[in-house]
Structure 1
Amino acid sequence: MATQREWVNWAIGRIEADFNRSADTHLIPLPVPVLPDIAIYLKDESSHPTGSLKHRLARSLFLYGLCNGWIRKGTPVIEASSGSTAVSEAYFARMLGLRFIAVVPRSTARAKIEAIAFYGGECHFVDGPSQVYEVAQSLADELDGHYIDQFTFAERATDWRANNNIAQSIFAQMAREPYPVPTWIVCGAGTGGTSATIGRFARYNRHDTQICVADPEGSVFHRHWADRSILRVDHASGCIEGIGRQRVEPSFLPDVVDRMEAVRDTASIGAAHEVSERLGRRCGGSTGTNVWACATIAAEMAARGEKGSIVSILCDDGARYTDTIFDEAWLADKDLDVAPDRARIAHFFETGNFAAL
């Protein structure tokens, strides 16, 4: 019978083998022909085995838990999530033969819930996003399990100096581009771990790259960045899954962020629709949030006569949102008219002008 240490060695080996047979994700140009001196790219994280940026995070969180002695043979793993992280964690839990329970809001997209179940995970539903933390910890205590807690450990579990984190991958892939060191990297914040990793990596390698976090208008993160005394908002953060929170998460590090862009939900969804058509495949709402911020920055750079590159993230596959942001009936029920904002972002791609129409 294997000892716990032998099982942990086996589990780490399984995760590393999975990583070794997985290719890196693509860096896709997003052309704006009328702005030849400004190049925009999207890091396509939807091509991970579990279809989103959160695959990297889930792998790091499992390795962190294993190496800290928190995850052992037979340990139930519990997570608080809006969906995508739980999908990826269910994948790794199944790989290791562990029970996995995701505590998710009832509003989570059906496709994400189905994906969690596909990988053998269970869903425990709560009525509001703010309830996920307490319920996840309570379940972990009840089952003698491990609450993996992405919101606390995202920036700690990821090796921000290297180890093929997303920042290292972006800079390596940009090496042969006309402007190899990005002027800006734009990302959203759910835990804050991605912006923390990219911001630290840029500083560690003495790059001049600045970090912009694109945040849903209802989220607390951009408010906290402007005023550190603001730690929570009482209202819902919006309908863009995966980014934006009601409380400032421990993994969000505002001091590594150079700029915040607050983006309306209609702008995020309108941009997601337009980018999906231009790429020939659907992308999620958080990608739209990112692209809206990229367009804002690109237009400002062009107005100043600056040259350079902007890199952002295609966070996940839009197929997960067929019954939400890509469903006309759903949009109508939420009273979301995305046509004006979609027209504005389309106008930017055609003219380079991002002024309101």
Structure 2
Amino acid sequence: MIDYLRLLDADAADHKAVTGVLRRFPLPPEWGVDLYLLDESTHPTGSLKHRLARALFRDALRRGALAPGATVVEATGGNAAVAQAYVARLLGHPFAAVMPRRSAPEKIARIEDLGGTVHLVHPPLAIYDEAERLAEQRGGHYMNYLAASADAIAASAGGEDDIGHVLFERLPVVPDWIVVGAGSGGTATAIGRRIADISGETRPRLAVVDPENSAYFPGWAYGADDYTTGMPSRIEGIGRPRVEPGFDASVVDVVMPVPDAASLAAMRFLCGTTGLRAGASTGTNLWGALQLVAQFVRDGRRGAIATLICDDGDLYPTTYWSDAWLDEKGIAIEPWTKALEGFQRTGVLEPPSP
């Protein structure tokens, strides 16, 4: 009998040396602030969703929800589906991604290249019901990462699939703040629960950064767990039109709204400053982290802040890294780029005037 859990452990061990590398963002030493970035872009599938995929499969296997050889179905066309396609192939499971009809061809190709099949549906919100129907039809398992991610990561506590464990293992100090985005909410919740295990004055605080059209900031501000916007996020991997069940607001200290133009300017600013080419959600993280750095500088405080490089920027050549795409979407990043350049000189980060 195949030892599926051993295969997952082997995948984690094989890639541990090159994933989750801790990097430092260059800041003037006289500011007395360190900014650390945990680089999750070097996973085999290019994003932090690789750890989540392993955790989801591990949890489903342990619970007996996933029978050997059964079809795995997921409702998304993003990095979560790509990572699950990889793990499904590793374990010998057929994989099917249910995606909106207008999904980008390169996303479809990435899933198919890993042996998965793609089912396109319309309207976009129909993907969830269709994934459930397809899994039932095939006698398979609907992974449903939006609902299952937080519990799956919790079940992997202390291992390589637990992003909170990995972050604190790599950091040389306990930071004052950790900054992350929220898609399913699993990453933020996992890190928040890890923080809750720390006592005393060294306990970090957790900031969740939220892009335009997402429900997490207004839901947190109004204390409404059922808040919905009905609008999709343009920043892949984070932001949701509803507050997902995997998001635990009780472990979050603050939710910071971030304009999409700021995210994309910060993404390119990271590359220009460090040579690291990441995706837009990393830009969202960086903008929020730099806002906190600016507060430290203003208040004359010393300390440390940590955030994540979420995925590889080379996954987005026709969108976030395309000037033509920015023009098509009407996103002007130049004023935000100037704000970041000014911050680099002065330590003051002021959003551009409307």
TM-score between the two structures when normalised by the length of structure 1: 0.92
Matched letter for residue 32 of structure 2: D
In structure 1, the gaps of 5 or more residues are 1-5
**Alignment equivalent of 2:158, drawn from 157, 162, 184:** 162
Deviation at 1:161, TM superposition (A): 4.4
After superposition, give the CA deviation of every residue in 1:242-297 in whole Å (9 maximum; x if it has no partner). Answer: 10001111100000000111111111111111112222142100000000101111
Q: How does 1:1-357 map to 2 (within 5 A)?
A: 6-7=1-2, 10-23=3-16, 24-33=19-28, 36-106=31-101, 108-127=103-122, 129-159=124-154, 161-164=157-160, 165-175=162-172, 180-206=173-199, 207-229=202-224, 231-357=226-352
**Aligned residues of 1:187 and 1:195 also touching (Cα < 8 A):** yes
**Aligned residues of 1:190 and 1:245 also touching (Cα < 8 A):** yes
After superposition, give the CA deviation of every residue in 1:187-238 in whole Å (9 maximum; x if it has no partner). Answer: 0000111111111111113251000001112100111111233624344233
Percent of aligned pairs with the same amino acid: 38
User: Within 2, Cα distance between the matches of 1:92 and 1:208?
Assistant: 35
Matched letter for residue 154 of structure 1: S
User: Within 2, Cα distance between the matches of 1:352 and 1:117?
Assistant: 46
Which of 122-131 and 193-202 deviates more?
122-131
Matched letter for residue 184 of structure 1: W
Deviation at 1:35, TM superposition (A): 5.3
Deviation at 1:34, TM superposition (A): 6.1
**Aligned residues of 2:212 and 2:234 also touching (Cα < 8 A):** no
In structure 2, the gaps of 5 or more residues are none
User: Within 2, Cα distance between the matches of 1:309 and 1:86?
Assistant: 34
After superposition, give the CA deviation of every residue in 1:300-337 in whole Å (9 maximum; x if it has no partner). Answer: 12111111111000000011110001111111111111
Deviation at 1:127, TM superposition (A): 4.1
Matched letter for residue 253 of structure 2: D
After superposition, give the CA deviation of every residue in 1:18-73 in whole Å (9 maximum; x if it has no partner). Answer: 11222242011011216531111111000111110001100000001111111112
Deviation at 1:13, TM superposition (A): 1.7
Matched letter for residue 32 of structure 1: L
Q: Secondary structure at the match of 1:341?
A: helix
**Aligned residues of 1:76 and 1:145 also touching (Cα < 8 A):** yes
For this pair of structures, how many residues does the alignment match? Answer: 346
In structure 2, the CA distance between the partners of 1:228 and 1:107, relative to structure 1 (3 Å rule), is farther
Matched letter for residue 306 of structure 2: V
RMSD (CA atoms): 1.7
In structure 2, the CA distance between the partners of 1:323 and 1:128, relative to structure 1 (3 Å rule), is farther
User: Within 1, Cα distance between the matches of 2:241 and 2:305?
Assistant: 28
Q: Secondary structure at the match of 2:15?
A: coil
Which of 11-20 and 229-238 deviates more?
229-238
Matched letter for residue 55 of structure 1: H
Q: Quote the residue 1:3 is aligned against.
A: none
Deviation at 1:348, TM superposition (A): 1.6
